[in-house]
């Protein structure tokens, strides 16, 4: 089973603490809006502009991203939890 997010939405698999990279991005507990790390599982085809064209997304499947703590909606597929958010909720791509 697969999810195909619409327009500027993406499906993200949250990366738990134990999945942290060697470099170690640590999310401070006290920050008001905590960034979090995840892996992009699927991306939409982009939002339509007024001219009827789509603006393609800048993140792609497989990207490791940072996003705000309250970004997106949580869903569970086959026992695994995912997040569906808009690309605008993505802060940065981790390279």
Q: CB neighbours (10 Å) of residue 28?
A: 8
Residue with smaller CB distance to a second copy, 2 or 18: 2
- Binding to a second copy (CB under 8 A) within 60-89 occurs at 66, 68, 73-79, 81, 84, 87-88
User: Does residue 16 touch a second copy according to CB under 8 A?
Assistant: no
Tell me the closest approach of the beta carbon of residue 47 to a second copy, in angstroms: 9
Is 88 in contact with 47 (CB distance < 8 Å)?
A: no
| Choice between 16 and 49, CB closer to a second copy | 49
Identify any residues that bridge with 39 across adjacent strands, giving them in sequence order: 13, 64
Q: Which residues pair with 67 in a beta bridge?
A: 36, 90
Token pair of 52 as six digits: 């009827």
Rule CB under 8 A: choose which of 16, 17, 18, 52 binds a second copy: 52
Least distance CB 74 / a second copy (angstroms): 5
| CB contact at 8 A, 71 and 89 | yes
């Amino acid at each position: 089973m697969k999810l195909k997010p619409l327009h500027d939405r993406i499906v993200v698999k949250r990366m738990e603490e134990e999945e942290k990279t060697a470099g170690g991005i640590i999310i401070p507990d006290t920050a008001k809006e905590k960034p979090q790390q995840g892996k992009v599982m699927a991306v939409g085809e982009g939002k339509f502009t007024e001219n009827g064209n789509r603006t393609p997304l800048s993140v792609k499947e497989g990207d490791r991203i940072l996003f705000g703590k309250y970004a997106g909606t949580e869903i569970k597929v086959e026992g695994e939890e995912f997040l569906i958010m808009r690309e605008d909720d993505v802060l940065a791509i981790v390279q």
